[in-house]
Structure 1
Amino acid sequence: MTSMLGSEMYSPSPSRRPSWDETDVLRFLNALETPEKVINWIPQAGTSFEALSKPPFYLSKHAALRPLPSLQSPDSSRPDKNVAKAEATAANSTTDALPDDKAFGLTTFVEGVNPVVDIIAIHGLNGHREKAWTAKNNVNWLRDPNMLPAAIPNARIMSWGYDANTHSTNKLSAMYLYDHANDLVSDLSRHRRLDKALIHSDSARSGHLHHHRSIKTSTYGIMFMGTPHQGESVALGKILVGIASIFVNTNDRLLNTLAKDSEALQQQLGQYTPINGDFETKFAFETKATPLFLGSSTIVVPKACAVVPGQVNAEAIAIMGNHIDMVKFSSKNEEFETVAGHLKLMAEEAPAKIQANWLTESDVAAARDKKQKSNFDVAFDLTKIPKTSAFIGRKSDLNLIKKHLMPGETSDRRNICVLHGLGGIGKTQLAIEYARLQKALYTSFFWLDGNTEDSLIQSLLIIMRRLPKGQIRDVKIEDIKGSDESKMIAQEVLEWFALDGNNGWLLIFDNIDKTSYEEESSSHDSNSSSYDITQYFPPGDTGSIIVTTRLQRLASLGESIHLCKLNTLDSLFILEKNARRALKRSPSADGSEIGHWDPDAVSLVERLGYLPLALVFAGSYISKVDIPKYVKLYDKSWAQLHSKMIRSDYPERTIITTWQISFDEIQVRNKEAAKLLQLWGYLDRQELWFELVQWRDFESGAPDWLQKITVSEVSFFAMIDALLDYSLIERNDNCNTFSVHAVVHDWIQASVNRKADKELLHTAVTTIGLAARVVNMRDSAALQRRIFQHAVHCSQYWGAVDFEQSVDTMYLWSLNSIGNLYLEQGRLAEAEHIYKWALEGRDVALGPEHPSTLEVVNNLGIIYSQQGRLDDAEQMCKRALMGTEAALGPDDLATLNVVNNLGNIYSKQSKLAEAEHMYKRALEGRDVALGPEHPSTLEVVNNLGAVYSQQGRFAEAEQMYKRALGSNSKETALRPEHLSTLEVVNNLGNLYLEQGRLAEAEHLFQLSLEGIEAALGPKHPSTLQTVNNLGILYQKQSRFAEAEPMYKRALEGRQAALRPGHPSTINTAHNLSILYLQQGRLAEAGQMYNQAGPGSIT
């Protein structure tokens, strides 16, 4: 059972006509198809209620609401008159009130009074367009003048019927639900007063295009009544998915499979979920069991099956009835009032929403009219595309790709070529070589990294910059917030490829090795990172696509080429090229015949399976040793790996054996370099440098092998050269850092480190922590982020560390430093976890009153303070202060650090006198110990200025802030890496804001935001604080349109990063509620105030 609400504003003029091509219509109609097998599953009582809106709604046991072309509202000041009119209209309706035997198509129950919305009821399987809604006392609540027509007098109420018999002794109607859906769309189109419009005069079905598109555009909401959504097969709910999915790149293959094999609805729900927020959705579910024959009864569609969790703009509705009578109301009982009340509210809200939809459509139509005349040429560009050296061989494969994809010969249809084969076989290189050779045949070429869904989306966002101006919405990548918005923008990029006339493009989807497409459901892990690649194919049926993958099952996407081993001659040329020495028998031989080559080389390429990546690595290796020795090592390594290291993703094992051979040779030649490569498996792959692994000031505590590597930079680079020689790592562009290829890095972790080496893991954690320790966290944001990536990667292995090792002093010191790293990145929950781990270890190893233990206690206090847990923070800092004073004395820097932090907590608690006292004590001590210009001293100066500002002592506050800024030269003060300076700038801006010096405040806030955002990122708490401050400034200047997005950005970021009820989140919500109040937006103000709660505004 289902119901849909939709809204439609005034019939749009031709200039506002939505544009939709024939392919969109075909996909839409295909999306509506539901097979006979699915129909047979639904219980006989199943019905649907769909609502379309004028604005239309859809009401479905299926039902629909939609508004009429004229959006005249009923006279709200004379409700009795309107109800009376509705009753009279319903009573005098010329529509046949008696159920007809063959009730197919759309019929009008009630015309309504000045109707602005359509309500369309669609029954379920074995239902009837009249009987499905008629109670035993012959009351049809959709038609009866005292029922729904009285509740919503300005609604036109209709019902749609179709051949839904699933229990006849004769065969089921030959029409698939695809055809029923087509009839529904056509019937609705005829009943909608739309202007005459043709989208494309050359389209065979252009007369239908506008009508189909307008139904979705005008749809406001859906009411599903007893419709199974989870764990069951599909009923006419497929109609709703189809209507709702017009703007989604519908998975045609999935829909076709559903039509034949009735696959699980969960796959279909995945098609609807991304766009469920476009509609208001109600899920009505039965609460009473339905009697069955033989005296039994059951809940046919329980709540867990009828209500889909996680949907946007959705609400569950309990109906006190069984599956059969839940849409048959004999009187105005409580259940009727519940359903009618929801429909009435939706009918009231629909017109405004649908009007906005049509305004958007007008923009789309105008843009697309312009794009028809556009030039779609994009310059050929290989920037950021995987580098390839001079390409060798595969001429026949290149010709075959051209045959499959050549534009012009079959330009009316999309051409897809799938290159599949073993990892390392050369799929990516072949695809890029084809693009390079045939670039003149294409108007544009783009390469997409399909390794993960996120990387694919990012690739689409990146190519957006290259698209011609005016052909796509101008969006800055840095302004995109969150994965949902990224997906939405990526879909807009895909729509560019479907623009009329844009037929000559070529897309390479590279490394599609994690996709759910045609994956057996029994083998699919719901927690995996796989995704359906077809969801990212551009809509329409034009252009050319190359897919590279290890997965043979993707061959069904189009024409496929299975890349096999290279021929012997091409393999020999690749081996020689990478060996950088001649492998031919004589200098005069051109290599065109196998007899020209060294027999050992011929044997080697055969032994390596003619695999390009293996040949590259082997060639690099034999540049230093002779081939017989390499083959001997290969044979030995192969036997060992074959018995102990079987890899399912490399069934021929040639890649792994090649890497293992190189690793074995490195172990013989340079054990320390091999150890470094193993250590790298626990670090991030992208950037390794000398200082990262140096263990500065603690060199003697490092393992012997690491001491040999880091004794000097010369020694370090010698070890790196050993790895570079065998092509296991790469030198980055800056020449001072190095990276491991992603696949090699995976190999290290899965093969070399296949069993967690706890000693190496202990070394990795200590390495990261000691590197973080020497970073000035406040003034080296860029370096901090580089180290942080290693901590994130290593964190997945921390659970394997033995507790006996975890009480090692240096290790515990490193853990505390890593906690600091997470704290500075605004990752408070992870920082708390790490600090607790460090605290537990130090309690055991050093005792609870040891200064090092108390240091972690103080850090936990900082975490609690930033989380808004001020009482817990105060307790922790008081414990730390008492302990450090007793152990180190009142003037020790460690003690003064705790004093400063306790002042921060008192300031947040508005205990300003206590805060001032603590800051003055910390300032006096640091002045003596460090000097007045030391950054730690100036940190307290800044804090004291903040307290003075809170106390209204503005002159003293400004003096403090200027002193804090005074030691920073103009050349360095506002650089992103100087966060301490930027915090002072922000605070000075706050002071000017309080004094009404708004222009100066705005200037400082903008400088602070630019620097902090560049250093810490757009979602860091410090960034969001400045964003919130800018909102306050704009609000004071009555620049409401600028203030609102600032508050919304700050609120969204704080809700995501901070715990529920955090004071900062509450304050931003309060600020936004006041902004709405000032603009007279009372409903939004009330909603935001309730969301914020009664917390105080600061």
Structure 2
Amino acid sequence: MLVIAMLPHSIETSLAWGILSLIFHLGFVTEERSRKMMETLDAVRKVLTKVNRYAGSDLGNDEEVKEALMDIHVKLLEFWVKIVRELRKHPLEKMTDTGKGLWKDINDSLRNTLMEIQQRYEDIRELADSTSFSRNLTLQQPMSGSSLTFPVMVLPIPENPNFCGREKTLENMHKYLDPSKRRFRLSCFTVYGLGGIGKTQVATAYAYKYCRNDEDRSYDAVFWVTSETRAAMSKSFSSIAMALKLPGITERSDPSSTLSAVHAWLKQTDKRWLLIFDNAEKWDDIMPDFWPQAGAAGAVVVTSRNFNLADSPSSAGEELAIFSPDESTEFAKSILRDWDADDDHEQDAFTKLLSRLDGLPLAIHQICSLINGEGNTVADFLEIYDEHAAEFHQDRGGEHQAFYSHSLETVWLLAINKYSQDPESQLLLGAICFLSPDAIPEKLFHARKDLALPDDALFCRSPMKVRKTLRNIRSSGTISMSKSTIRIHRLLQAAFLERIQPEIQNHIFKATSTLLNDAFPKQRFGDPLYDEWPSCSKYILHAQSLARKWRSSLQNGVRLEATADFLQLLSHAAWYFRELADFESATELVEIGLEGAQEDQHELIVGHLLNTLGVVKDLTHEYHLSRQALERCLQIRLRHLGPDHLETNGVKTNLASIIASQGQYDVALELFQQAEKASTSSSAQDKRLASCRYAANYGRCFTQLGEYAKAREHLQRSRDILDSGRDNSIYRRAIDHCFGNLNLAEQLLEAAKANYETCLKGYAEDIMAKNQLLTCGCHYKIALIEMQSGHHANALTRIETALDLAMKLNAQGYVGRILLLKAELAKKDDSILLGLPVEETAEEIELKIGAVRSNLEGLLVSGSDVPPSTGDLFTYFIPWQAR
């Protein structure tokens, strides 16, 4: 029926209805025929559902589309007529799946018809994509990247000179992705299969093959996204932004700003680009934040162990099979050195070895590299290898059994046994196995001369010895290196850690914690890590990996010792995640740290973890949990540091901010004053920024209490303190915002507007990106000023700008607050909404306000103070400093 419903009105449909009537009459005589005909109709329905997306669209009047739809109509009518003829010819014949007879004829005809319809559908879709792309070009100028030299390649893996096989896979990938054929839309190809089957190498080979520096290249840019975690993907997008030299983006830029800038380039450029998501686990990890946005026209390759990723939005994909015997032979010979292929005994051993490895590329690479590293003949090596044959040939079972039925355990065991005789190599490889598998800086293992390390890690004090040990490990194919970074296969990581004894594993874990903690920047006296962001980004994924493997070991019955180095590392890494606004990762590290800490030994570190947790819970509006964490932290710091220490009074400041967030400004003011008074014994240099914060917070509190003269006095003092030493743009912008709020409260509208405009225009992009909520608040406040001044059109423009940013940040408190202002503006000027690009009524705005309120009420935790009004509720969900 769907095809009839979608036909142009000018087409006579009575014939189609008549034919379908005959089909129902003849095809539903028996239960067997009914089942088969329902299957047939369902198959037709599925393909017509796709066609129907375009039949009713703006393209429906296009002559080419009309012609394609008519062809589909004709093909279907021909198919229905053939069915009627067959059913009449064989009125009593059963429709069975025997591969012959009536059902075979109908099924063959159905398959041919659907293929022809699919082809016409592809024609319509290509036309739709082309039309959409043309419209986009008229709306915006593409970012040509004229300041760059193309091709641009962001690939962490060097080209593999030993890559062989997979020619058909590469051909299939390019047949589908080729930008010359699919220029105006996004196309995606998923490469999936076993761990170690070569997915990453296939993606790498495709990138290098089709993005060479010559005129015949298919792509102008290739970008690699490491996709195990959200943090890894954010870091990859930062690398992409740096390579593209996107304006306003630096290594210190806020991740969301970097992500938006890269997406904008992908969407607007006229360059041909390829984006590779390596080792993705599920679509939910990539979408919607990292997936190219609607309108982006390019090619995407996804590699994954999960075959489900071959489904939507991927329109094509291929599961990598094991190597054929010929491919295995070619690959092994490309790796082996000094191998006597003319020796019959060696040739026989070689054939037997490859039969045991059963075509798994990773296993072949590992074994052949071990043979090279040990200097064995293949025959000698095979004798050792055969001692582990039974273990090697254990059945893996599960869904991949048909592709690779053997375990990799023996491959890992050989490497593990080799390094068990070399303590330095064992320690270094073990440390690598605890870290994130990609982009491990070699410099991490270059320890300070005075860093306390166990005896078998003292070689780390000598960069030359570290290099020598890495070369030893690399000779067996266990790791790869490029540009002073190390990469290891994650399966080998897991196997190595599972195989070594718990006491050795614990020893390596402690040494790794010491090295990584020493390398990771430290957050002190409440000051941000902002200046250290580039360094933090090099090590954050490794800190996260170390923490997760500690927890995983505990769950598996092995308790690794949570040393002071490990816990300190987690406390500073968690704070860095907090600065990135990755509150989920920050909370995870804090929770792991609290699980591992012994309060009698690590109470000060526990205090730092609790302070971070309190700040994170404040920013996620869980004020009662924030207050609990900060009060525990305060008691710890009072016991160990005393009431005068900056760290003690830093937590008092954070606690005061929580109290202020709940509207208790007089109580918060008293706590701020206690904190500053207790800090007088600190040196002037140490307390300068702290004093700047205290004065600004006094100004905020006095503004809310209506004591404007005192507020102005303290805000000016805050600015004077900042002027007395090294500038801090983040603090200065916050002070400008405070002055704006004060002037607005005193109805000094022009002065307030000037303050907010300075916040929006007077600072570098990376500074503004650090606090986008404050940016949102400035637009909102300017809109309020414009409305009070009677400039309704200007007010609406600012409202729309603020609303777009708030929705992008998912800042529901600000979304509700801005919608309230929009509703108030509509009441003052009921015609103002007519100027919007998308018409909106006052009633629709009120419905949106109700929806936001309902959503936020659902987020209120039991025991919280419920705000008395809608406006108070929205304010409750805005961080105090951004209100």
* TM-score category (smaller protein): 0.5 to 0.7
Q: Partners of 1:980 and 1:605 in 2: how far apart?
A: 69
Of the three residues 336, 350, 375, the one matched with 1:575 is 336
Alignment partner for residue 678 of structure 1, among 402, 409, 430?
A: 430
The structure 1 residue matched to 2:493, chosen from 725, 736, 748, is: 748
Q: Give yes or no for contact 1:447–1:510 (8 Å, CA) kept in 2.
A: no
Mapped to 1, the partners of 2:165 and 2:628 lie a distance apart of: 71
Cα distance in structure 2, aligned partners of 1:625 and 1:845: 49
1:1020-1035 matches, cutoff 5 A: 1022-1034=771-783
How far apart are 1:944 and its partner, in Å? 3.7
If each structure's helix is expressed as a fraction of its own residues, which one has the higher value? Answer: 2
1:531 alignment partner AA: L
- 2:295 matched to 1:531? no
Cα offset for 1:809? Answer: 5.6
Matches within 5 A, 1:424-443: 424=198, 427=202, 435=210
The residue that corresponds to 1:962 in the other structure is 719
2: CA distance, partners of 1:601 / 1:956: 89
Quote the offset at 1:470 in angstroms.
7.1
Asked whether 1:728 is paired with 2:488, we answer no
Task: Say whether the 8 Å CA contact 1:685–1:740 is kept in structure 2.
Answer: yes
Q: Is the 8 A contact 2:617 2:623 kept in 1?
A: yes
Q: Give the superposition deviation at 1:1002.
A: 2.5
Letter in structure 2 aligned against 1:536: S
State the 1:208 CA deviation: 6.6
1:11-45 Cα shifts (integer Å, max 9, x gaps): xxxxxxxxxxxxxxxxxx9xx69xxxxxxxxxxxx
Q: Which residue of the partner structure matches residue 82 of structure 1?
A: none
Q: Offset at 1:708?
A: 2.0
- Matched residues in 2 for 1:684 and 1:619: separation? 25
Query: Aligned partners of 2:824 and 2:5: how far apart in 1?
Result: 34
Letter in 1 for 2:778: N
CA distance in 2: counterparts of 1:406 and 1:1005, whole angstroms: 42
Structure 2 gaps, min length 5: 76-106, 112-127, 241-258, 278-283, 787-793, 831-840, 854-868, 876-882
Q: In angstroms, what is the RMSD of aligned CA positions?
A: 6.4
Q: Which amino acid aligns with 2:802?
A: M
**Offset, 1:999:** 4.1
CA distances 1:261-283 after superposition (whole Å, capped 9, x unpaired): xxxxxxxxxxxxxxxxxxxxxxx
Taking the TM superposition and a 5 Å limit, the aligned residue runs for 1:706-785 are 707-733=457-483, 735=484, 738-741=485-488, 744-753=489-498, 757=502, 759=506, 760=508, 772=520, 774-775=522-523, 777-779=528-530, 780-785=532-537
Alignment match of 1:893 (pick from 622, 635, 646): 646
Q: Deviations over 1:801-843 (max 9, x none)?
A: 3797667666555554454444444344564565466557667
Aligned-pair distance for 1:471?
10
> Out of 612, 624, 627, which is 2:376 matched to?
627
Deviation sequence 1:350-405 (CA, Å, 0-9, x none): xxxxxxxxxx999749649999xx9x9x9995834654244687699799989999
CA shift digits 1:459-484 (9 cap, x unpaired): 999899579967999x9x9xxx9965
Pairs within 5 Å for 1:194-343: 197-200=61-64, 205=68, 207=70
Aligned residue for 1:536, secondary structure, equals: coil
Judge conservation of contact 2:395–2:407 (CA < 8 Å) in 1: no
Paired position in structure 1 for 2:41: 177
Deviations 1:226-253 (A, max 9, x none): xxxxxxxxxxxxxxxxxxxxxxxxxxxx
Kindly, what percent of the aligned residue pairs are identical?
13
Deviations 1:954-978 (A, max 9, x none): 53244234235325656xx45xxxx
**1:676 aligned partner, one-letter code:** L
What residue is the counterpart of 1:144 in the other structure?
A: none
Q: Could you tell which deviates more after superposition, 901-910 or 481-490?
A: 481-490
Shift of 1:949: 4.7
Instruction: Verify the 8 A CA contact 2:649 2:675 in the aligned structure 1.
Output: yes
Aligned length: 708
Q: Deviations over 1:497-538 (max 9, x none)?
A: 8xxxxxxxxx795646532xxxxxxxxxxxxxx323464238
Q: Distance in 2 between matches of 1:438 and 1:854?
A: 54
Label 1:728 to 1:184 Cα distance change in 2 as closer, same or farther (>3 A): closer
| Counterparts of 1:755 and 1:1006, CA distance in 2 | 58
Q: Corresponding residue for 2:847?
A: 1087
Q: Equivalent residue for 2:85?
A: none
Cα–Cα, structure 1 residues 1052 and 719, in superposed 2: closer, same or farther, change >3 Å? Answer: same
When normalised by structure 1's length, the TM-score is 0.51
Call closer, same or farther: CA 1:885–1:1075 in 2, change over 3 Å: same
Question: Does 1:1002 pair with 2:748?
Answer: no
Q: Are the counterparts in 2 of residues 512 and 550 from structure 1 also a CA contact under 8 Å?
A: no
Shift of 1:788: 2.9
- Displacement of 1:194 after TM fit? 11
Is residue 607 of structure 2 the alignment partner of residue 607 of structure 1? no
In 2, Cα distance between the equivalents of 1:183 and 1:902? 61
Q: Secondary structure at the match of 2:681?
A: helix
Shift of 1:671: 2.0
1:1073 alignment counterpart: 820
1:238 is aligned to: none
- SS of match in other structure, 1:685: coil
Q: Distance in 2 between matches of 1:419 and 1:1051?
A: 35
* 1:388 correspondence with 2:154: no
CA deviations 1:879-932 (Å, max 9, x no partner) are 554565466543233432333223323332333344333333433444531314
Contact kept in structure 1, 2:370 and 2:475, CA below 8 Å: yes
Q: Can you list the C-alpha shifts for 1:73-128, whole angstroms capped at 9, x where unaligned?
A: xxxxxxxxxxxxxxxxxxxxxxxxxxxxx999789xxxxxxxxxxxxxxxxxx9x9
For 1:194 and 1:1023, the matched residues in 2 are separated by 38
Map 1:875-954; keep pairs closer than 5 Å: 877-878=630-631, 880-881=633-634, 884-885=637-638, 888-932=641-685, 934=687, 935-950=689-704, 951-953=707-709
Distance 2:764 2:848 in 1: 25
User: Per-residue displacement from partner, 1:413-468 (whole Å, max 9, x unpaired)?
Assistant: x9x9999998249755775687589998887699797997998x999998995799
Deviations 1:569-593 (A, max 9, x none): 77545534xxxxxx488xxxxxxxx
The 1:466/1:1005 distance shift into structure 2, 3 A limit, reads closer
1:713/1:941 CA distance change after superposition, 3 Å: farther
- Tell me, in whole angstroms, the C-alpha distance in 1 between the residues paired with 2:57 and 2:462: 82
Judge conservation of contact 2:807–2:815 (CA < 8 Å) in 1: yes
Q: 1 CA distance for matches of 2:446 and 2:174?
A: 56
User: In structure 2, what is the Cα distance between the partners aligned to 1:896 and 1:366?
Assistant: 60
User: 2:387: which partner in 1?
Assistant: 639
CA–CA distance in structure 2, aligned partners of residues 887 and 487 of structure 1: 45
- Residue 651 and residue 1076 in structure 1: after superposition, are their counterparts in 2 closer, same or farther (change >3 A)? same
**Partner amino acid, structure 1, of 2:492:** W
**Higher mean C-alpha displacement, 437-446 vs 957-966:** 437-446
Measured in 2, the distance between the counterparts of 1:1027 and 1:418 equals: 41
Aligned to 2:540: 788
CA distance in 2, matches of 1:531, 1:709: 44
From the superposition, tell whether residues 389 and 209 of structure 1 become closer, same or farther in structure 2 (CA, over 3 Å): same
Match of 2:800 in 1: 1044
Q: Indicate whether 1:826 and 2:581 are aligned.
A: yes
Which amino acid in structure 2 is aligned with residue 1004 of structure 1?
Answer: C
**Bigger Rg, structure 1 or 2:** 1
Q: CA deviation at 1:168?
A: 3.7
Gaps of 5+ in 1: 1-28, 34-49, 57-65, 70-101, 108-125, 129-160, 213-255, 261-359, 498-506, 516-529, 539-546, 553-561, 577-582, 586-593, 1016-1021, 1056-1064
Structure 2 CA distance, aligned partners of 1:772 and 1:402?
Answer: 41
Alpha-carbon offset, residue 1078 of structure 1: 1.3
Indicate the SS of the match to 1:388. coil
